[in-house]
Amino acid sequence: MPSERSRVNMSLTMNPFRLELTSSVCIAAPPEAVWKIFADISRWTEWCGVCLAAEVETDFDWQRGQRIRLKFRIAGRGVPFNVAITESEPSRRIAWASTKLTVTAVRTFSFAEETPDSTVVTDHKLFTSPVLPVRLFYPRPVIRRMTESMLVDLKSECERAVGA
């Protein structure tokens, strides 16, 4: 029987100044249930093992321009991120971006109905820099483990919530 981790699909493409990673997982829960859990960012630390902190501004509702302060566990360390929502189609597609040391990171989550009772969640990351070779600063195995952990945790929380 495959492990939970093997149910996460991942692909990547890269050049020295660009790193692109895409991961997806199928969750046995309807899209509305998956979105409800994902959208409640104040609870991420309860179900997501890599999320150490998630803070949003008052009246946060996933709209373009809104900001999120996150701290993720990456390679055993808490790494803070201040991101801004760049795309917003709540329940369908959310993207945020941040820039550090000339590296711009854009992370996009999409939610697609596979069947009425299942949802494919895709987590796409794009790191670019005009001057720094991105792959030296962003080790793929570390990012892959963090991403897979978050997707597996989301799957577990959603399926637990709907009783699947």
pLDDT digits (tens, 9 = 90+) for 105-132: 999 999 999 999 999 999 999 999 998 8
For residue 48, give the nearest of 124, 151, 161, 162 by alpha carbon: 151
So where are the chain's domains?
Answer: 10-162
CATH number given to 10-162: 3.30.530.20
The 10s digit of each residue's pLDDT in 11-20 is 555 478 888 9
The edge-to-edge listing of strands for the beta sheet with 51-56 is: 9-15, 18-27, 118-128, 103-115, 93-100, 77-89, 67-74, 51-56
What is the overall mean pLDDT for the chain?
89
Beta bridge partners of 78: 73
Q: What is the pTM of this model?
A: 0.87
Within 10 angstroms of residue 157's Cβ, the number of other Cβ atoms is 20
Are 35 and 91 spatial neighbours (Cβ–Cβ below 8 Å)? yes
